[in-house]
Each structure stands twice: as structure tokens, then as C-alpha cells.
Amino acid sequence: MGDSQDIHALFKKFLSDSCTPEEAAQLIHLLQSGKDKALFVQLINKHLHNEEESTVDDAVLSRVFARLNLGDDKRKKPIKSLTFYLKIAAAAVICMVAGIGAYYHVQHKDQKTDKTIVAHDITPGGNRATLMLEGGQHIELSGNQSGIVVTDEEISYNDGTKLATSSAVIHKLVTPKGGQYQITLHDGTKVWLNALSTLTYPKQFAKGERIVELEGEAYFEVSTWLEDGQRIPFRVKTKSQTAEVLGTQLNINAYDDENTTTTTLLEGAVRVVTPHSSASLKPGQQCKVGSQGIAIDEVDVETAVDWKNGDFIFVDENLASIMRKIARWYDVKIVYERDLPDELYNAQISRNKNLSEILRILELSGGLTSRIEDDTLFLSSK
């Protein structure tokens, strides 16, 4: 199939819940092929708006995705790239098919359309972190709170509830697998920590400097800080680089199991410094530091901060990369029983879903079979 009339007919059957499992699979394969994605976007738009004709542009697609309720309703900034929209539009249909796939599993068990075997499902992560102070004091932070605030005298939760007083000079905020937390530093800088991350920071910054250390991933909203009329830069040190920041918004991914340290700039200005070179970023640019040096690309910044906005956004991403993110957020062990399918995935999925729902969507995208047993996820190609 590939003729537009045939695709239109198949899509109408899908919308009326009259697709067979084989036709649903055929629909997915058409989406994965890439060549008919624009047509599917138009069909989605026509269905949602009851229009006879439709054109594909960013404004239309924004309405489509809002109606499909794919992302977090709190998302503030639109994703700019039409190419990105086309890929996620394809993923939108896949997500819709995933719902029908679950229906077929219940109604047609003998056809075995759902390959995800769930012995014990795994719930998503949440607000979990430990505050570690000099002297060995550890404070398990409340899961009912989203963040803490550091001042001269004390540490409190975001709602003003007093947490502790401390004379310790150096603090560490540590999130486990399946955890995230936010902190407001003494200078007003706000930091969101992703799962399996550590932020080391002083209770108060020394005169003339603002330096923190990061392991893992964090999103920063850096405050402007003046001393004697001079702006004091904010520096984020990781194993491979130092990011020098002046009042800005950026995301840094510095996990040990990733091949590169990735810095993505949303607003302001950043200079990335390594032992061998340096580079300055403009908003909308992403810097990757690896064994080959520094590489800078233009990117859709929303894909870098998807985790902070409550989503997974995969754009031409392979399963190995996806599963590293899954393992951190769901606190799950990954066991590869056979080689993974050599495919690239495009999807936007809420991080609030149980793991089995994420797997169902990925399986329907093609090439993957999985099962969950206790805290272990077993994966192989079909």
C-alpha cells in the first residue's frame, strides 16, 4: 500500500475501530517508512477539525497536538521545527494505535497482538532526593515536596516549611534512580535535578565566584549576581568540562554512561571550556563534548528539557539510548536477551505512565519484544 486513497481508507478504518490487528500493524509500518508522514499529519488534522482540505504548518500542528493531548498541558514553549512535528505526528498515530492494540489484546487474545508480558508493572519515578551535609548528616527529603530553598540561616521546602539549620559549608543534593528534585541556591539560581544525579554546592558562594559541580543531568535557571557593579559568572563543573554562564537557562547532561557531555542553551549565553578547547553557544544551540572534541549543532531545545516538562521525547533515537533513560526513571535493570532492533524511534510520551504503557508504544513502533519480571526488564528483537 502507498496510494493516498488506500492510506486514507485504512486511516478511516482505524478511526472507526474497525482495523484488524494486521491492518493496524500495516499502518505502523507505513509511518515508520517516513515517506507518508505528511499525509498522515493532514489526515489527523482533517479528522480533528472536520475539514475537507488541510495544509500542514506549525500553527495547525500545534492545534492538532493540543487536541491529541500528547504532551504536558503546562508546556510553555512551542517546539519550532516542522520536521520535529512531522515525526511526532507519526508518533501521535502510533500512540493512538497503542490504545487500540490494548483493545485487541483483550478482545482477541488468541491473536497475541500485545507482546508485553507484565508480571509486575513498574510505576514511574517521583520527587525523591537526599540532602547530604558535611559531617555525615543525611536528610531524606519529602516526596510530597518538589524542592528546597537554601538561605543564610536555614534550609526550607519550597512551601516555606523549615527543614534544617546547618553550619556545613558544602552541601550535596542527590537523586536516586526514579528520583527528581529542585533546589533554589543562595544566589537565587534554580536547579532541577533529573534522576541519578548529584549537585554539589556551597551554602554560600565565596566572593567573586559561583561554582557548583554536577554529576548526571540538571536544568539551570541562573540568576544575575552583581558584586561591585560587576556580573559574576555562574560555573557548572562536570568531569569533562566547565560551563561558564551569565544569567541564562540551560540543560547539562553529564551521565557517566553517555558518550558525550551535552550542554543545551535555551536563553542567554554560555561558554563551554574543556582542557583542550572552548566554544560559545547561542540560544537554540547544543554542544557535545566527547573523545572527538567539541561539536555544536542547532537543535529543538524542548527535546533536551523533555524530562523537566514531564515527557520523554524521542527524535530519531535508538533503543540503547532510550533504554538508558528508561532505566534511570523507572529504577529498573535492563537485560538484553538478543540484539536490539536496528531502528530509530520518534515519540512523545508522558513520564507519568507505568513502564508497561511505554513499552507497548515502543513495541507497536516495530521490532521490539519485552517482558517485566520484578524490577528487571527483558528486551529482545522480535
Q: What is the pLDDT of residues 223-279, one digit of tens each?
A: 998 888 889 999 999 999 999 998 899 999 999 999 999 999 999 999 999 999 999
Q: Can you say whether the dihedral through the CA atoms of 194, 198, 199, 203 is positive or negative?
A: positive
30: part of which helix (H) or strand (E)? helix 21-33
Name which residue leads in pLDDT, 170 or 89.
170
Q: For residues 265 and 248, is the Cβ–Cβ distance under 8 A? A: yes
Please determine, for residue 109, whether its predicted confidence score (pLDDT) is greater than 70.
no
Name which residue leads in pLDDT, 103 or 161.
161
Q: Which of 57-61, 119-123, 182-186 has the lowest mean pLDDT?
A: 57-61
Amino acid at residue number 115: K
Amino acid at residue number 250: L
Q: How confident is the model at residue 270, as a pLDDT? A: 96
Please determine, for residue 98, whether its predicted confidence score (pLDDT) is greater than 60.
no
**Mean pLDDT rounded to a whole number for the chain:** 80
283: nearest Cα among 259, 258, 302, 310? 302
112: part of which helix (H) or strand (E)? none
**Ranges in the chain annotated CATH 2.60.120.1440:** 126-303
What gap in Å lies between CA 277 and CA 214, rounded to an integer?
20
94: nearest Cα among 319, 348, 343? 348
What gap in Å lies between CA 57 and CA 62, rounded to an integer?
9
Within 10 Å of residue 160's Cβ, how many Cβ atoms? 7
Q: For residues 130 and 174, is the Cβ–Cβ distance under 8 A? A: yes
**Coil/strand/helix, residue 144:** coil
The CATH fold of domain 126-303: Jelly Rolls (2.60.120)
* Phi, psi (rounded to 5 degrees) for 301: -65, -25
Share of the chain above pLDDT 90, in %: 51
pTM for this prediction: 0.76
Rg (CA), the chain: 23
